[in-house]
Each structure stands twice: as structure tokens, then as C-alpha cells.
Copies of this chain bind each other. A is one copy, B any other.
Amino acid sequence: MKENYEIFESEMNELFENKSYKKMRELIEDTPEADTAEYLQTLETKNALLVVKLMPKDLAADVFSYIEPDYQEQLVGIASDEEIKKLIEELATDDAVDMLEEMPANLVQKVLRNANANTRAEINKFLNYHEDSVGSIMTSEYTSLKSGMTVGEAIEYIRKVSYHKETVYNCYVLGERRKLIGVLELSDILGCRDDEELIENLMETNVIKVETHDDREEAVRLTQKYDLFALPVVDSENRIVGIVTVDDVVDVIEEEATRDIEQMAAIVPTETPYLKTSTFSHVKARIPWLFVLMLAGMLNGVILGKYEVAISALPLLVTFMPMLTGTGGNSGSQTTATVIRAMTLDEISLRDSFRVMWKEIRVALIIGVTFGALNFARIYFFTDDPDRVMMGLVLGLAMIFTILMAKTLGAFLPLLAKRIKLDPAVVASPMITTIVDVVSLTFYFNLAMVLLGHRI
């Protein structure tokens, strides 16, 4: 569809130059909101604002919700109170909250001052939810039916309100005091051929739902497990307060995967897109872990310092170091990444800890013994050092030990982190690599002192 967007962009530019505003408006009305938003961001803000004003206000709000936060901020900065008033009343609550969460306080004030009392109260409520909670991703526009309605009445009602809801495809049936008593799909209602049938006879009473303060990952899990388009959100008294729609769930999934990847790569998680992040912010996200891991590397240096005599006498020992620590680090990373990902995808839980550890130990033994034997054979057959048996044993045994330790720790630490309610990704590969380096080098040099002591 890239081509479609490019045609649209050049047509718009031409119309804009010729000041053909009526034609621009017609073209925008035939174009997906996301494309119009992309186009606006190629313009100077004052021109973008001019184009926004051409659109009917509901369309303008839809387009606005697709614009990147920093550009939204610039637009709000130069917009008049009147323009902001129109915008904020038309934006869906979740889109308004997304926008305000990223804005500096003075602009938040400017926006809220122009919202009417209801909207303002609603937005303030949403802004108070923790950013990892279901409340932070829900929307308050949903379709509710009363249990006493018939199929015919429900269809009539939905036809009347459908333009004001984020979705009408999942309908929530409310009992007394807005309590959620059932759910049904619009297709269930339409598919019922009897207009006099009661909604409460069609609805599903076993409702899959979340509470506002639940972790948003719970909403992700349920949406995926049950293949839902929308998930109702209730308060502690089972009164419906909003819904989470699948497009917001998709965003959470992407964010969580990015966070896992960043933590695996020793980066402090950020939320802005790559090119929108300043050089200095990139530095700030990368320097902390890099510094901690450099200090840990110094610790390795201190340990090696204790073996300076051995190194001077047998520099051959040093030549095997990169291979040994490298293989250890990679073995540990493999296990940690696998275990963390399996936890994110809910494939394993803490109950499975022993099965996971046992599996990793078996995998490590198979790989360790294979690689240990290969290294022994390589030294035995391809070097002519008089101590080649002992040298081969030192390297081979160190290899087995290193892989076994790397994979055991690589599984144990993320499980432990989860158990004590830390984010498992915090103990991801870089930290494990460092621990593995320290322990394996200590083992390697001590073994060398024992088996090759006569040379040192």
C-alpha cells in the first residue's frame, strides 16, 4: 500500500499549492486516517493545523489519534482554545489519555481547561492508572445493553448509537447498578431470527473479564487465549468501566517484546522510536549497564591478576580463554533467552521450575561433553606439547564445567527473579555472561595449577 500513500502525498501537495481546499477535503475523506496522519507529519505545524481545520471534527480527532506524540505536542502548542475544545470532545478517552501522558504539564493544563467537566473527570481518572495496569490501556467507549431488551430492540439501539462507539461488535449486558452480567457478540444478536427473543437468553454469563488494576499482561493473555476482539474491564464490584480492544493489546505485545529484547541487550528500556530518540538519550539508555558490566569485567581482571605467574609461564593457557568464556557466555544467553521468552509467552510458570532446570542440565551435559571431548581431541591430536594429555584435560573439563554452570545459572536466575517478583529480563544475558566469565576462569586456572603445576 506504500504506493497508494505516495500517490496521496503528491496529490495533496499539489492541491495544497493550488489552495484547492475543497478538493483536499474530499480527498482526505476518501483516505484512511493513518495515511492522512502520516501526511500531516510531513508538513510544517501551521500548515498541518490548516489541513486539520478542513476536516469534519470527528474525522479530525480520528486522524489526530494516529499522529506521533511529539508532533501532537507541537500541534497542541500552537492550536487555539477553540480548536482544542473541538478536538478533546471528539477524541476517544484512551487516545486522549495516550496523548496527555506524553505531554509537558503546561500543555496538559491547556488541554484539560478546554474539556468539559465530564470529559475532564474521565481523563483524570484514566491518568491515575499505573502505566502497566489494564486501566491505562482501556477505553470508556463500549456498547452496553440492558438485560430486559429483546433482539429487535437491541438491533434498533445499536443502529442508533453505533457511530459513537469504538466497537459495537461486543455487547455487554448490564444488570442493576451497571453490574456486568453477560456478554454477547453482535453476530449472535443478528443471527437470531426471532426479534422477540430476550437478550438475556442469548448472552454468555461466564464472562471473561479483567479489573482496572490488573497487570495489562493479563489482558494480553486472555485476549490471546480466547481470541477476543475486546475484553471488558470491571471495578472491584463488577461494574463495567471500560473495554480493552485488540489493537491496544497488539501495541502492548510489541512493547513487551521490545522491552525483553532491550534488556537482553543491556539497554535501559525506552519508548520513543529509534530516529526520534536523541543521541544523548541513546547514550543515557546504554551507558548504565555498559558501565556496570565494565566494572564486572575489571573483576575478571583482578582474578586473572592472581594467575600472572601461570600466564607468564604458560601463555598457551591465555589463547584458550576467549573460546572458553565466549562459549560459556553464549550457552548462558541461549538458556536465559529461551526461559525468559517461554515465561513471557506463558509456556512455563514457576511450578515448572524443576522440569526446566532438569531439562537445561541434560541439554548442558550433552553439549558440554561433546564440546569437551572435541577440545580434548583437538589438543591431543593436533599439538605436540609434552603435556598435551593434561592440557587437553584442563580445557576439556573446564569446557564441560563452564557449559553446565552457564546453562544451570541461565535457567535458575530468571526463575529466581520471577519468584521474588523482579522482572526476569533484568538478569538477562549480559549479567549471566559476566558471572559465567568470573566463575569459569577461576575454575580453569585452578585446574591448570593442579594438573600442570609442574610447569608453572
Listed in ascending order, the chain A residues whose CB lies under 8 Å from chain B are 1, 4, 30-34, 155, 158-159, 162-163, 165, 167-169, 186-187, 190-191, 193, 204-206, 208-209, 222-227, 229, 246-247, 249-251, 253-254, 257-258, 260-262, 264-267, 273-275, 279-280, 282-283, 286-287, 289-291, 293-294, 296-298, 300-302, 304-305, 308, 311-313, 315-316, 318-327, 329-331, 333-334, 336-339, 341-342, 345, 347-348, 352, 355-356, 359, 362-363, 366-367, 370-371, 429-430, 433-434, 437, 441
Contacts and interface: CB of A to CB of B under 8 A. Distances in A.
A258 B322 contact: no
- Copies of this protein in the assembly total 2
Contacts of A224: 247, 250-251, 254
A49 B337 CA distance: 37
25 contacts: A1-B208, A34-B226, A162-B190, A168-B187, A169-B229, A224-B251, A246-B246, A253-B253, A258-B341, A265-B336, A267-B337, A273-B342, A282-B338, A282-B359, A283-B363, A286-B363, A290-B371, A294-B323, A297-B323, A298-B323, A308-B316, A308-B319, A311-B311, A312-B312, A312-B313
B293 A355 contact: no
Contact of A265 (B264, B275, B367): B264
B227 A4 contact: no
A41 to B, nearest CB: 13
B341 A319 contact: no
A337 B265 contact: yes
Contacts of A441: 322
